[in-house]
């Protein structure tokens, strides 16, 4: 066996894995197109891929559409940042303090069990309408996955490494900065990845319940006018936004792994 053969075996699966999402997307589009062609449903029930593509092209040349995209993106990112700003320090407190853990842990599951569409009307009453309450709703949605992932990451650090750092004289802050947070970073980034993707859902739900000028409000207007092709186009844009935020955090996660592997 030559040295080039193992290299080819390593490269081919990588190329196949890279092409797998595109192949799956093509299969979905083909199944969708054949369903419309064979079953011939009314356009208001299931539009054709070409009709949705036409709506997407029209939307891309509309300033109103890009304004809605910017509004929803701002709400999602702002809510994610707010949720992370609360969840990350709380995860450290839960990890460090048994008393705080005992006091807070029974109520953490309740924050995830309450549906966002039930909280949105309360936020409208308490905070009002506009950007602020929608950002707050997004923060509530992303808070739980970021918190749980961070706590799990901090709790699963090798205690031998922590004990060795303490024996070397590391204080509480140095231990957190140089040992605990770097080792828990993959879990923290995984929580941020899921949280940022969920924030798009929170923004849409908030706009549908509390108003606004983003894609959620556009989706509501399209629903009321039975514009199914437009709804499909808007949903695809929302999926792309969530996937983009997810992929961005995943890229940061991969870069952090690469940097960590180069450290001595």
What is the structure's pLDDT at 111? Answer: 67
Token output for 91: 């995860």
Out of 11-20, 53-62, 136-145, 195-204, least confident range: 11-20
What is the structure's pLDDT at 264? Answer: 45
Token output for 223: 């629903």
Mean pLDDT, range 118-126, rounded to an integer: 83
Looking at the predicted structure, is the pLDDT value of residue 86 above 90? yes
Higher pLDDT, 171 or 25: 25
CATH architecture of 47-262: Orthogonal Bundle (1.10)
pLDDT tens by residue, 10-20? 445 567 777 88
What is the structure's pLDDT at 2? Answer: 45
What is the structure's pLDDT at 180? Answer: 84
- Nearest of 225, 200, 221 to residue 71 by alpha carbon: 200
Task: Judge if pTM exceeds 0.75.
Answer: yes
pLDDT tens by residue, 127-149? 888 888 899 999 988 988 899 88
Looking at the predicted structure, is the pLDDT value of residue 163 above 80? no
Q: Measured between alpha carbons, how far is 142 from 82 in angstroms, rounded to an integer?
A: 9
- Nearest of 118, 133, 261 to residue 203 by alpha carbon: 133
Q: For 139-204, give the DSSP string.
A: HHHHHHHHHHHHHHHHHTS-HHHHHHHHHTT--HHHHIIIIIHHHHHHHHHHHHHHHHHHHHHHHH
Looking at the predicted structure, is the pLDDT value of residue 225 above 60? yes
Domain boundaries, the chain: 1-40, 47-262
């Amino acid at each position: 066996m030559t040295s080039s053969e193992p290299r080819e075996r390593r490269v081919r699966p990588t190329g196949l894995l890279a092409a797998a999402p595109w192949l799956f997307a093509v299969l979905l589009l083909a199944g969708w197109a054949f369903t419309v062609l064979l079953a011939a449903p009314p356009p208001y029930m299931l539009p054709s891929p070409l009709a949705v593509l036409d709506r997407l092209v029209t939307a891309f040349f509309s300033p109103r559409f890009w304004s809605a995209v910017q509004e929803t993106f701002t709400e999602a990112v702002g809510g994610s940042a707010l949720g992370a700003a609360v969840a990350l320090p709380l995860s450290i407190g839960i990890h460090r303090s048994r008393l705080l853990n005992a006091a807070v842990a029974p109520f953490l599951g309740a924050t995830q069990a309450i549906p966002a569409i039930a909280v949105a009307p309360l936020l409208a009453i308490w905070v009002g309408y506009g950007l602020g309450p929608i950002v707050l709703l997004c923060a509530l949605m992303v808070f739980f996955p970021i918190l749980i992932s961070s706590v799990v990451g901090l709790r699963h650090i090798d205690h031998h490494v922590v004990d060795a750092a303490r024996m070397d004289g590391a204080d509480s802050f140095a231990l957190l900065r140089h040992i605990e947070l770097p080792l828990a970073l993959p879990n923290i980034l995984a929580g941020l990845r899921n949280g940022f993707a969920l924030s798009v859902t929170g923004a849409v739900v908030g706009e549908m319940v509390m108003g606004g000028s983003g894609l959620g409000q556009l989706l509501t207007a399209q629903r009321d006018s039975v514009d199914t092709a437009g709804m499909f186009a808007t949903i695809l844009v929302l999926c792309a936004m969530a996937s983009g935020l997810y992929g961005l955090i995943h890229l940061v996660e991969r870069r952090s792994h690469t940097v960590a592997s180069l450290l001595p």
